[in-house]
């Protein structure tokens, strides 16, 4: 097991190298010079002399390979340079913003689980009932309603009209409620339906019939036999969503003025802030690969067929 994890993590290295190179190139292919952008942000007219001097400051006047190798060498020592826009160390900027995004994502995940588990189970058990139809409607809405619109709607309803929660910002758990709910809704919708389908599949399986034939209590049949098997595909899908959620919180962060890393990333892209973009891409790569790994390991943990290799006696 340890060896397996080690091998997978070792596989991270070529992935990161590849991503860093691709990001480096792609970001420089986008039109507009970061030097000019910086000048415009400062409301300084970008004359050729000014631009040249800023370019020299930012190190953009060196040949491309020199820039890349220099960046790579520093990155290997965890020095990701300094942001073009704020002149602060990149890693410090990202780690400053990251906890907020992480908190938002975890809260959303918790909400997703809290909603979709019971809803999916009940929808399967009471198939075609009012509850099932209602959950189907909610799933449809959740998947099609745009994030920002939902966010504003929730603010209007819960904050302005009912005066239950604050509008935006970060501070108390009350501040976390609406952004987490907005981010969670579309995922909750999907997972409710996924769990429902998974459970219905399991409920018509042979081993469930046999379990009932043996006279097991219904609760035991549902819990140990149906749910346990039904949760397997849902768990792995959920694990993959984590990376997705971390990257996709941008809109929610914008609407709720949540000081997270998604917002930072979008600003960096608009501001052509190469060092921040490059570091962010690397970090997201690490997160995705790790999520992948965790999901695989969870699968091994949960499914004995994979863990024990299916050997016959």
Partner 1 sequence: MSRLKHASAALFMLLALLVLTAGCGGKPAGDAARAKSLTFSWSKDIGDLNPHLYSPSQMFAQAMVYEPLVKYAEGGKIEPCLAESWTVSADGREYTFKLRRGVKFSDGSAFDAKAAKKNFDAVLANAQRHQWLDLVNQIQDTEAVDEYTLKVVFKNAYYPALQELSLIRPLRFLGPAGFPDSGKTSEGIKKPIGTGPWVLSEYKKGEYAVFTRNEHYWGAKPKLEKVTVKVIPDGESRVLAFEKGEIDLIFGSGTISLDSFKQLRDSNKYGTMISGPMSTRTLAVNSNRGPTRDLRVRRALQHGFNKQAVIDGVFLGTEKKADTLFSPNFPYCDLGLKPLEYSVEKAGALLDEAGWIKPAGKEFREKDGVPLELELCFDSTNNIQKAVAEVMQGDLKKIGVSLKLVGEESQSYNQRQKDGNFHLIFSDTWGAPYDPHSLVSSMRVPSHADYQAQSGLPMKADIDRKIGEVLLTTDEKARRELYSQILGTLHDQAVYLPVSYQTNMAVYHKNVSGVTFSPQVNEIPLDGIDKT
Partner 2 sequence: MKSKPLLKVDNLQVRIAVPGGVVRVLNGVSFQIRAGKVLGLLGESGCGKTVTCLSLAGLFNGPGITVSGNVELNGRSMMDLPAEKMRSVRGRELAMIMQNPMSAFNPLVTVGRHFTETIRSHSPATGREAWQTAMEYLRRAGLPDSGRVMEQYPFQLSGGMLQRVMVAIAMSMRPSVLLADEPTTSLDATLRAQILGQIAHLLRDFKTGALIVSHDLGVIARLADKVAVMYCGYIVEMASVAELFDRPLHPYTRALLSSRAGIKKKRLTPVGGQPPSLLNLGDSCPFFERCAEVERACLNYRMEPEILPGGRMVRCAGYGASKGKVLRGLA
Name the site residues for partner 2 (rule: CB under 8 A).
205-207, 209-218, 220, 224-225, 228-229, 232, 302-305, 308, 310-313
Helices (H), 126-172: 130-144, 147-154
Q: Radius of gyration (Cα) for the chain, nearest Å?
A: 24
Q: Which residues, 6 or more positions from 51, have their beta carbon under 8 angstroms from its beta carbon?
A: 33, 35, 36, 39
In the complex with partner 1, the residue whose CB is nearer, 19 or 253, is 253
Q: Which stretch binds partner 1 (CB under 8 A): 19-27, 67-75, 195-203, 254-262?
A: 254-262
φ, ψ at 246 (rounded to 5°)? -60, -40
Stretch of residues binding partner 1 (CB under 8 A), selected from 122-130, 163-171, 197-205, 280-288 = 163-171
Nearer to partner 2, 63 or 310 (CB): 310
CB nearer to partner 2: pick between 267 and 299: 299
- Long-range contacts: 40-43, Cβ < 8 Å, 24+? 41/85, 41/271
Shortest separation between residue 220's beta carbon and partner 2, angstroms: 7
Which of 228, 204, 208, 233 is closest to 218 using CA atoms?
A: 208
* Interacting partner of 217 out of partner 1, partner 2, none (Cβ under 5 to 8 A depending on kind): partner 2
Q: Where does this chain touch partner 1 (CB under 8 A) — which range of 17-25, 45-53, 199-207, 281-289?
A: 45-53
Which of the choices partner 1, partner 2, none does residue 109 contact, using the CB cut-off of 5 to 8 A by kind?
partner 1
Q: How far apart are CB 295 and partner 2 at their closest, in Å?
A: 17
282's torsion region: left (phi>0), alpha (psi -120 to 50) or beta?
alpha
Residue 59: name the closest of 50, 70, 48, 49 by CA. 70
> Which residues within the stretch 191-250 sit at the binding site for partner 1 (CB under 8 A)?
224, 228
Q: Which of 21, 42, 74, 95 forms a contact with partner 1 (CB under 8 A)?
A: 42
Q: What are the structure tokens assigned to 10, written together?
A: 């070792």
CA distance 86 to 210: 66
Q: Which is nearer to partner 2, 2 or 213 (CB)?
A: 213
- Out of 14, 63, 171, 311, the only residue in the binding site for partner 1 (CB under 8 A) is 171
Q: Does 303 bind partner 1 (CB under 8 A)?
A: no
CA end-to-end span of the chain: 23
Among residues 59, 89, 248, 259, the one that binds partner 1 under rule CB under 8 A? 259
Q: How far apart are CA 183 and CA 165, in angstroms?
A: 16
Nearer to partner 2, 25 or 306 (CB): 306
31 binds, among partner 1, partner 2, none (CB under 5 to 8 A by kind): partner 1
Contacts of 93 (CB under 8 A, 6+ apart): 83, 86, 264, 276
271: helix, coil or strand?
coil
Residues 108-147 within binding reach of partner 1 (CB under 8 A): 109-110
Cα separation of 195 and 235, whole Å?
A: 10
Instruction: Provide, rounded to whole angstroms, the least separation between the CB of residue 213 and partner 1.
Output: 21
* Cα–Cα distance for residue pair 125/207, rounded to 1 Å: 17
290 binds partner 1 per the rule CB under 8 A? no
Where does this chain bind partner 1 (CB under 8 A)? 31-32, 36-51, 53-54, 85-87, 96-97, 100, 102-103, 106-107, 109-110, 152, 155-156, 159-160, 163, 166-173, 175-176, 224, 228, 254-257, 259, 263, 270, 272, 301-302
């Amino acid at each position: 097991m340890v060896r397996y994890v080690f091998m997978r993590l070792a596989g991270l290295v070529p992935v990161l190298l590849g991503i860093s190179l691709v990001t480096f190139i792609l970001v420089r292919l986008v039109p507009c010079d970061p030097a000019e952008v910086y000048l415009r942000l400062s409301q300084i007219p970008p004359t050729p002399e000014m631009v040249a001097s800023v370019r020299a400051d930012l190190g953009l006047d060196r040949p491309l390979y020199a820039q890349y190798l220099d960046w790579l060498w520093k990155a290997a020592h965890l020095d990701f340079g300094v942001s073009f826009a704020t002149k602060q160390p990149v890693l410090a900027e990202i780690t400053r913003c990251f906890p907020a995004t992480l908190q938002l994502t975890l809260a959303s995940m918790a909400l997703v689980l809290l909603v979709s588990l019971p809803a999916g189970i009940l929808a399967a058990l009471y198939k075609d009932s009012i509850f099932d139809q209602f959950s189907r409607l909610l799933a449809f809405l959740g998947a099609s309603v745009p994030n920002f619109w939902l966010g504003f709607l929730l603010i209007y309803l819960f904050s302005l009209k009912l005066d239950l929660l604050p509008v935006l910002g970060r501070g108390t758990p009350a501040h976390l409620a609406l952004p987490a709910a907005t981010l969670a809704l579309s995922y909750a919708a999907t997972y409710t339906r996924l769990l429902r389908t998974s459970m219905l599949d399991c409920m018509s399986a042979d081993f469930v019939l046999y379990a009932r034939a043996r006279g097991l209590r219904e609760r035991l049949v549902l819990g140990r036999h149906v749910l346990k098997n039904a949760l397997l595909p849902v768990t792995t899908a959920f694990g993959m969503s984590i990376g997705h959620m971390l990257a996709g919180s941008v809109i929610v962060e914008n609407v709720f003025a949540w000081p997270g890393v998604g917002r930072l990333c979008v600003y960096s892209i608009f501001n052509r802030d190469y060092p921040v973009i490059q570091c962010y891409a690397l970090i997201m790569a690490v997160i995705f690969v790790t999520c992948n790994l965790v999901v695989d390991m969870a699968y091994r943990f949960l499914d004995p067929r994979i863990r024990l290799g299916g050997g016959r006696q």
